[in-house]
């Protein structure tokens, strides 16, 4: 079982030729509305891969909540412990999708700020193989839950996004921190590390912070640097990117699900990397996430179904 403690949003996306600059307005294409939030996206991806998944977080009592939860409910994600907060709005993300596949995202947290670690029971942690966290809910709550889970022998993974400003992130109870290049640089700089090659930075960070560092590299693949000094790397996929909005969340969710299923590091990395590539070839976040059968077929043939 995978427990995801994190955010639930409704994504509002507009395709544009180029994102507007300061003070500029641009006309875009048709409005796209879909379920999102890093926690929800990762829970949905893990479930699509076949894991039993529980999502714990919070939504408001507004009209956005039903739309934000519809895909999760349809996929069979357990929402029993999800809070419905009276008087608060469900989180929302405003996204511009540029023609080159890049995106810019602004998030209104809303009810995500009410996510509470106490909503995850000790019994649930005892039953779970993996606890997956992100940083779109209060970091104090995530930290408290990470310490409880770690003490009970549950493997704790943190997708360090969006990276908080200020002091270095607390990774004391984290077994695996998942980062992209930008987030790696932010963590390494905050830790006073000088190496400038991504693999060397990941290794230095793993040793310094005593947790494994999983680095996503886009079309160059991904690598896991362990605190013991080992590196596990997989190559990337050359694809035509349509929308990269949910790729990182898809990677994290599938990696967590594969690890919970007992797959070794190499197999889990391959599955997560393939899932992220497939996600980039479609529009949306949860709507773009592949099922395990699609991932397995892509790994065999190198072609999307």
DSSP 135: S
Dmax (CA) of the chain: 52
Distance CA 229, CA 210 (A): 11
8 A C-beta contact, residue 202 and residue 213: yes
Give the strand pairing for 130-133 and 2-5.
Answer: parallel
Q: Which residues contact 21 (CB under 8 A, 6 or more apart)?
A: none
Q: Which residues pair with 211 in a beta bridge?
A: none
8 A C-beta contact, residue 256 and residue 270: no
Distance CA 149, CA 133 (A): 11
Provide the token pair at 116.
């509470």
SS (H, E, C) 214-276: EEECHHHCEEEECCCCCEEEECCCCCCCCCCCCHHHHHHHHHHHHHHCCCCHHHHHHHHHHHH
Q: For residue 180, how many C-alpha atoms fall within 13 Å in the half-sphere facing its CB?
A: 14
Number of H helices, E strands in the chain: 9, 14
Among the listed residues 2, 254, 43, the one whose alpha carbon sits nearest the alpha carbon of residue 137: 43
299 CB neighbour count, 10 Å cutoff? 15
Q: Which residues contact 220 (CB under 8 A, 6 or more apart)?
A: 235, 236
Question: Known catalytic residue: 170?
Answer: no
Options 212, 249, 264, 287, the catalytic residue: 249
Q: Which residues contact 99 (CB under 8 A, 6 or more apart)?
A: 15, 16, 17, 18
Annotated catalytic residues are 249
């Amino acid at each position: 079982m995978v427990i995801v403690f994190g955010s639930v949003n409704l994504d509002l996306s507009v395709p544009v030729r180029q994102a507007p600059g300061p003070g500029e307005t641009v006309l875009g294409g048709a409005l796209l509305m879909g379920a999102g939030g890093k926690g929800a996206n990762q829970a949905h991806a893990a479930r699509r891969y076949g894991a039993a998944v529980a999502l714990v977080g919070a939504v408001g009592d507004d009209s956005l909540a039903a739309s934000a939860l519809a895909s999760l409910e349809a996929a069979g994600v357990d929402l029993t412990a999800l809070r419905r907060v009276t008087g608060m709005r469900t989180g929302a993300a405003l996204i511009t999708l540029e023609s080159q596949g890049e995106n810019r995202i602004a998030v209104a947290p809303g009810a995500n700020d009410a996510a509470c670690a106490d909503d995850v029971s000790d019994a649930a942690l005892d039953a779970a193989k993996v606890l997956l966290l992100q940083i779109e809910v209060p970091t104090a709550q995530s930290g408290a839950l990470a310490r409880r889970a770690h003490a009970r022998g549950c493997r704790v993974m943190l997708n360090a996004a969006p990276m908080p400003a200020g002091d270095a992130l607390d990774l004391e109870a984290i077994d695996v921190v998942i980062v992209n290049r930008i987030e790696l640089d932010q963590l390494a700089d905050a830790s006073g590390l000088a190496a400038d090659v991504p693999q060397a930075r990941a290794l230095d960070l793993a040793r310094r912070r005593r947790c494994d560092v999983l680095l996503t590299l886009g079309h160059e693949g991904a690598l896991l640097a362990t605190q013991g000094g080992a590196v596990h790397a997989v190559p990337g996929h050359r694809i035509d990117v349509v929308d990269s909005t949910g790729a990182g969340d898809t990677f994290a969710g599938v990696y967590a699900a594969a690890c919970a299923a007992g797959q070794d590091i190499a197999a889990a990395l391959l599955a997560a990397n393939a899932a992220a590539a497939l996600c980039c070839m479609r529009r949306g976040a949860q709507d773009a996430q592949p099922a395990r059968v699609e991932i397995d077929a892509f790994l065999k043939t190198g072609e999307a179904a």
